[in-house]
């Protein structure tokens, strides 16, 4: 017996549910995440327990693990920092040290900033969670 294949009409796939899900994911990432400028993938911030909430290290002077300094994505020398700020030290400055860096390096940087006239120095840390 010869069966003729059923002629199939090409059915357009329904893309609306896909768009719905992708839209929801987009909205989730928009709301839940924070964008960090000059993100440093090697930087591991120090962990804290009950320190007050702060902001990201986008505008912070990063002290990397080996003690070198990074400002806005560019490595800087401490002595060259006033030029970046237009010839004068800022009133306050955020420092984002790597938690594996030598504490003595951080303290040396902080002391020099202080000597230069930086009034308030704040460390950027992050909430210590399980699994991180």
Should residue 73 be labelled a site residue for other proteins when binding is judged by CB under 8 A?
Answer: no
Name, in order, each residue with C-beta under 8 angstroms of 70's C-beta and a sequence gap of 6 or more: 38, 40, 61, 62, 64, 76
Judged by CB under 8 A, which of 33, 86, 87, 131 binds other proteins? 33
Should residue 115 be labelled a site residue for other proteins when binding is judged by CB under 8 A?
Answer: yes
- Which residue number, 1 or 16, has a Cβ lying nearer to other proteins? 16
- Which residue number, 1 or 13, has a Cβ lying nearer to other proteins? 13
Should residue 70 be labelled a site residue for other proteins when binding is judged by CB under 8 A?
Answer: no
Taking the CA atoms of 37, 43, 44 and 50 in sequence, report the sign of the dihedral they define. negative
Q: Beta strands 69-71 and 74-76: pairing type?
A: antiparallel
Should residue 16 be labelled a site residue for other proteins when binding is judged by CB under 8 A?
Answer: yes
């Amino acid at each position: 017996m010869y069966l003729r294949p059923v002629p199939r009409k090409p059915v357009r796939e329904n893309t609306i549910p896909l768009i719905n899900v992708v839209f929801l994911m987009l909205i989730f990432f928009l709301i839940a995440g924070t964008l960090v400028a000059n993100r440093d993938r090697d930087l591991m911030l120090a962990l804290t327990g009950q320190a007050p909430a702060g902001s990201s290290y986008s505008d912070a002077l990063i002290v990397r693990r080996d003690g070198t300094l990074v400002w806005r994505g560019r490595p800087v020398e401490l002595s060259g920092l006033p030029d970046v700020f237009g010839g004068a030290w800022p009133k306050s400055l955020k420092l984002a040290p790597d938690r594996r860096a030598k504490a003595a390096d951080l303290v040396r940087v902080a002391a020099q900033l202080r000597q230069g006239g930086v009034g308030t120095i704040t460390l950027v840390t992050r909430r210590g969670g399980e699994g991180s």
